[in-house]
Chains A and B, each alone.
Chain A
Amino acid sequence: MTIKLENISLRRGGVEFLGEVSLDIERGGFNILLGPTLSGKTTILRTMAGLEKPDSGRILENGRDVTNVPVQKRDVAMVYQQFINYPSMTVFENIASPLRVARTSRGDIERRVRDVAELLKIEDMLDRRPVALSGGQQQRVALARALVKRAGLVLLDEPLANLDYKLREELRNELPRLFEDSGSTVVYATAEPAEALMLGGRTATLHQGRITQFGVTHEVFRDPVDLTTARIFSDPPLNVADIVKRGGEFSIADTITWPAGDAHASLPDGGYRLGFRPHHLSLGRGDRHAINLEGTVEIAEISGSETFVHLDVGSHLWVSQSHGVHRLDVGQTVSVSVDPGRFILFAPDGGRIVEERGAHG
């Protein structure tokens, strides 16, 4: 189905959970809500499901206003972070439960449960009880129950958060494919930027109950409309700095300068903000286009394939993410470099400053 939120606002106990949220979701797509805790992800899912009634605004399913239609009458399935299964029922009965409620015929139930169990690789566990399964298998049962229903809308609220890292990786690969074939429209909430990138589809970034941007996941990542979105969609955290433009030059704290170039030539003088991603801050000196800086090592974290160096660069706390292993001591001075072509420029209020067309290769 298509689902459309129109200016949804929701307050509970004097606290604003959602403010003027509008979202237009196409049929059959994989959609991600990305944001930290309390940014409104779960509230949007609950509103879409009919579990919360907004104070104002409308919800449209396939163009029909369902704002006042209760959850029982919505064509929706939901999967939560905690695996919710009926402990006294077998896996088969757990998966079959929404079909029994819908009075599906016995033969149909048998066939559909086995099909979906096979898809989720739990066909050998149908006679067991959930308690005898691992966490990953239990979540597969919950996912199977959501899939078997063939609901028009499937809502997933951080479904992998309680799973082991490796299981998460595996299910992350499978999930978009599983739902692609089902034809359901999927909305998936997560707090993790890396997860959004791996799942693909379209992403809405959320900040304090508001949607900051909605678009193709990789485009939102590469082209954030504002500083807030860039920050939400960066892990490790985005490196930021306040900068000043004077004449043809940008500068950070009057010490680091670089030419504004054609792309920003007509930008008025004054204060701006910039952001750039940790993997664009490289250890060592860069080529002739690069800005070379010196920083003091706060801490160096080595992940095996990569090194994350937390640096104090002229009192900015930045992170450099680089390939390979670099052993660095706390307090050591290191040179780092960044290509100004990697900078994302923002106005003082955080709005993105778009480069002039044709100015940049």
Chain B
Amino acid sequence: MAEIRLDSIRHSYEDRPSSDADYALKHVDLTWNDGGAYALLGPSGCGKSTLLNIISGLLIPTEGDVLFDGRSVFHMAPGERNIAQVFQFPVVYDTMTVYRNLAFPLRNRGMDRGEIDRRVRETARMLGLEDSLDRRAAGLTADNKQKISLARGLVRSDVNVIMFDEPLTVIDPHLKWQLRAQLKKLHQRYSFTMIYVTHDQTEALTFADRIVVMHEGEVVQIGTSEDLFERPQHTFVGHFIGSPGMNLFPCEARDDGAWIDGRRIPLDSPPPVRPKGAVELGVRPEFIRFDNDGVAVEVRNVADIGRYRIVDALLGEHPFKIYCPEDMEIPSADPRVVFDPRHASIYVDGWRAEGDL
């Protein structure tokens, strides 16, 4: 497969874009390594589909270039870029057998019978479809149909990258687990370059080795699932990843910690000195625990989610949430909490502040 580089891509759907607001993609510089499993994560309208269409060649970017293994594919039509794509809805010929579904793209290229047979069987084996080759596609479940869609793309040997666009949308929760695990195994065994586009954090975080988070036409963070969870670089990442998302408190940053309405919250790394802009303290519900030595809070509501509870609380006048596992007690009187100092960070104008500003 190939390394894919997006070189200074900007894209606008306007004829004469003038300001940044006219750009669906403001500025994207990205390299997807050969053999990497990536997710492109963001809400609808963040620009992820635009980016996907630029890689596949359905869209020509306003500025910048796309390179596969260092060679520009700018002038290549989508069909010439050799990309296997899997969409929300399976692309399968219901009346054909699984075998013919897989053979179809090769026959169209005039490949000889023996070679077609070899490729079809090899691809079917890869995806665990070898026992269904003689079955008609119509009778298969949604997850198997998605596997056929993938197999139809993979059966060509010259594939540069596999791109998935919300591939589990129509799959039931139980089958989602299976199909996602199979995709991940496929990646570990064959080292395909995979790009998985989704708005679903669980899918992105569990599938990919590296996740690219997009927000309003920009990449706000690239990292592993731990990076995004433990060190969100932007409040958007804190909010979008995690259920519920990261708590934010307007605060004052001083040498001895963050001050929220006259209450001191100790931090591991000293906050930046006199930051300019909107200063907030960000801490995830998972990194707050009840502790008699902490700051006093008011518990407003406890929602039981089955294997854990979400506590809705107030610190001064600021609402926030605490993640409370099965075995953690919620005090009935004078509840106090401690923020894990390693996981509480100062954000200035939305961006995580590190060191002095």
Q: Taking beta carbons and an 8 Å cutoff, which residues of A are in contact with B?
A: 36-37, 134-135, 164-167, 169, 191-194, 197-198, 200, 218, 221-222, 231, 235-237, 277, 279, 298-299, 301-305, 308, 310, 319, 323, 325, 330
User: Is A37's CB under 8 angstroms from B173's CB?
Assistant: no
Nearest CB in chain B: distance from A13 CB, A: 15
Residues on the B chain within 8 Å of A165, using CB: 199-202
Taking the complex as formed, is B350 at the interface, i.e. its CB lies under 8 A from any CB of chain A? no
- The contact string, 1 if C-beta is below 8 Å from chain A, for chain B 159-188, is 000000000000011100100110011001
Q: Considering the complex, which residues of chain B in the window 189-243 have a beta carbon less than 8 Å from any beta carbon of chain A? A: 199-202, 205-207, 224-226, 228-230, 239-243
Residues on the A chain within 8 Å of B292, using CB: none
Contacts A299-B185, A301-B206: A193 and B307 contacting too (C-beta < 8 A)? Answer: no
- The contact string, 1 if C-beta is below 8 Å from chain A, for chain B 307-350, is 10000000000000000010000000000000000000000000
Contacts A197-B305, A323-B325: A191 and B173 contacting too (C-beta < 8 A)? Answer: yes
Cα distance A164–B214 in the bound complex, in angstroms: 14
Cα distance A200–B301 in the bound complex, in angstroms: 14
User: Is A197's CB under 8 angstroms from B306's CB?
Assistant: yes
User: Is A298's CB under 8 angstroms from B286's CB?
Assistant: no
Residues on the B chain within 8 Å of A36, using CB: 172-174
Cα distance A169–B242 in the bound complex, in angstroms: 11
User: Is A304's CB under 8 angstroms from B225's CB?
Assistant: yes
Contacts A197-B306, A330-B188: A302 and B225 contacting too (C-beta < 8 A)? Answer: yes
Nearest CB in chain A: distance from B344 CB, A: 16
Taking the complex as formed, is B17 at the interface, i.e. its CB lies under 8 A from any CB of chain A? no
**CB<8 Å pairs between A and B, sample of 9:** A134-B45, A191-B173, A194-B305, A299-B188, A302-B224, A303-B205, A305-B242, A319-B177, A323-B325
Residues on the A chain within 8 Å of B142, using CB: 37
Q: Taking beta carbons and an 8 Å cutoff, which residues of B are in contact with A?
A: 43-45, 142, 172-174, 177, 180-181, 184-185, 188, 199-202, 205-207, 224-226, 228-230, 239-245, 284, 286, 303-307, 325
Residues on the B chain within 8 Å of A135, using CB: 44
Instruction: State the majority secondary structure of interface residues on A.
Output: mixed
Cα distance A37–B174 in the bound complex, in angstroms: 11
Cα distance A235–B173 in the bound complex, in angstroms: 7
User: Is B225's CB under 8 angstroms from A166's CB?
Assistant: no
Cα distance A268–B303 in the bound complex, in angstroms: 40
Contacts A236-B177, A298-B185, A310-B181: A164 and B44 contacting too (C-beta < 8 A)? Answer: yes
Nearest CB in chain A: distance from B247 CB, A: 14
Residues on the A chain within 8 Å of B239, using CB: 166
Of the residues B44, B201, B241, B286, contact of A134 by C-beta under 8 Å: B44
Contacts A135-B44, A304-B226, A304-B228: A237 and B202 contacting too (C-beta < 8 A)? Answer: no
Nearest CB in chain B: distance from A256 CB, A: 24
Cα distance A319–B177 in the bound complex, in angstroms: 10
Nearest CB in chain B: distance from A174 CB, A: 13
Cα distance A305–B325 in the bound complex, in angstroms: 12
User: Is B304's CB under 8 angstroms from A164's CB?
Assistant: no
Of the residues A166, A218, A299, A304, contact of B306 by C-beta under 8 Å: A218
Residues on the A chain within 8 Å of B305, using CB: 194, 197-198
Extra pairs beyond A166-B199, A305-B284 (7, CB < 8 Å):
A218-B306, A299-B184, A304-B201, A304-B229, A304-B242, A310-B181, A325-B225
Residues on the A chain within 8 Å of B206, using CB: 301-303, 308
Cα distance A319–B174 in the bound complex, in angstroms: 12
Residue of B nearest to A222 (CB): B306
